[in-house]
Amino acid sequence: RFSAARFIDVQDGTAVMALPNEPHLRRCEDLRGELENVLAARFGGSLPVRLVVDDGPEPST
């Protein structure tokens, strides 16, 4: 579900993850807690995530 997501910012200790549209955001919201748990295990502390819709241009690779 998160394959189209990308981290775009960190604001006040919260990671901001952008998704391409509202339906995608709603589907990912169901797993946000699980994502936060995985990130906490990986980085050794809590890392809240806020999901947002971002229909801006894709970053170049």
- Position 60 scores a pLDDT of 57
What is residue 58's predicted lDDT score, i.e. its pLDDT?
61
Q: Name the percent of the chain lying above pLDDT 90.
A: 79
Is the model's pLDDT at 39 over the cut of 60? Answer: yes
| Bridge-based pairing state of the strands 14-19 and 49-53 | parallel
pLDDT band at 33 (very low <50, low <70, confident <90, very high): very high
Q: What is the largest CA-CA distance in the chain?
A: 32
List the alpha helices (DSSP H) in 1-61: 22-29, 32-43
Amino acid 1: pLDDT: 80
Q: State how far the Cα of 19 lies from the Cα of 41, in Å rounded to an integer.
A: 23
Q: What are phi and psi of 13, to 5 degrees?
A: 80, 10
Instruction: State the pLDDT confidence band at 18, using cuts at 50, 70 and 90.
Output: very high
